[in-house]
Amino acid sequence: MSQVLVTGGSGFIGGWCVLALLQAGYDVRTTVRTLDREAGLRAQLHAAADFADERLSVVRADLQSDDGWAEAVAGSEYVLHVASPTLRNGPASEAEMVGAARDGVLRVLRAARDAGVRRVVLTSAFGAIGYGHPRRTAPFTEADWTNVEADIAPYQKSKTLAERAAWQFIQEEGGALELTAVHPVAVIGPVLGPDDPPSLRTIRSMLDGDLPATPPFGTSWVDVRDVAELHLRVMTEPAAAGERWLASAGPSLRIVEVARILRRRLGDRAANAPTRELPLPIARLLAHFNPQLRALRPQLGQDFNATSAKAEQMLGWKPRPLDRTIEETAESLLSTSCSGPSRRTRSLSSPDR
């Protein structure tokens, strides 16, 4: 089978995409920011599946530099662009976050076009779809775009503007290169190794007892393995070119309901999970003083509901039951170093990818 490049293979979603491709018979090349991550990545993947080691190559390429990208894409028929830029020089301004995200996407697209890649699958996010809108009960769909003029976090703005730039590039400069975009909601699921993916921080904080009450909002959720499967489906499906695809396991679920599922499915091992939701007026008041709640301020009181009807009807994609995913996420965290007393100082983050 053909070769596929996965950017950011050492990340949570990227690692599961690499694994899914290997299991499907593809040869895989993946990028990491530093090659000292290669040995750990190979060990994690080999622990999860059997594959010939030579079918996976690991190369160094950074989204903030042109170096290495021509070599990374060479010989690949498809590219799964999963990686997001990581700014490592202290806190970043909104302009820096937006610029890094946009420039990173365009860097990969240019390299893919010049190398004759057939299709790029862009891992975008629900953050590019469902933020900055008036409160609504109807689920968000792929036709929606985040309103970047509203009061939204820099992360959501960066994902939105980066995706906008990607579609504009394809229209104006892409040549024969095809683009499709996957938009996961809050991504959870088992971890492949001891890394600490931010998308699991909410569940980890519940298990560790760092969350005496949950913030008052809800969101849709999805299993990382189902996200990887959707990437593979849209990679080769002819009808997927030029389309956006939401990845969601169902309607919005309040954070407190996730905690209740943990208690119900894990019993005493989830005894630290909170049982109550912080009242909205109190949460809004505390957001003036608490940096964790301040980061969640645009989400407080909302229910971010997303539907994957398009992927289910057009591609036959079917996500796992959410309660099982929540249980397996917790089991994975409890069996690795990603949860426990040593992590008690970790903060809560937005579950949106």
> Rounded to the nearest 5°, which phi and psi values hold at 275?
-115, -5
Nearest to 7 by CA among 73, 98, 51, 53: 73
Largest CA distance in the chain: 57
Beta bridge partner(s), residue 56: 28
DSSP 346: P
3-state secondary structure of 104: helix
Residues 249 and 306: their CA atoms lie apart, in Å, by 9
Sort residue 309 into left (φ over 0), alpha (ψ -120 to 50) or beta: alpha
Helices (H), the chain: 12-23, 38-48, 69-73, 94-114, 154-173, 201-208, 224-236, 255-266, 280-286, 291-295, 309-315, 322-335
Rg (the chain; Cα; Å): 19
Query: What are the catalytic residues?
Result: 159
N-to-C CA span, the chain: 31
Q: Which two tokens stand for residue 6?
A: 């996965």
For residues 246 and 142, is the Cβ–Cβ distance under 8 A? yes
Burial zone of 8 (CB within 10 Å; 0-12 exposed, 13-18 middle, 19+ buried):
buried
Among candidates 162, 127, 164, which has minimal Cα distance to 146? 127
Instruction: Say which residues have a Cβ less than 8 Å from residue 169's Cβ, sequence separation at least 6.
Output: 106, 109, 110
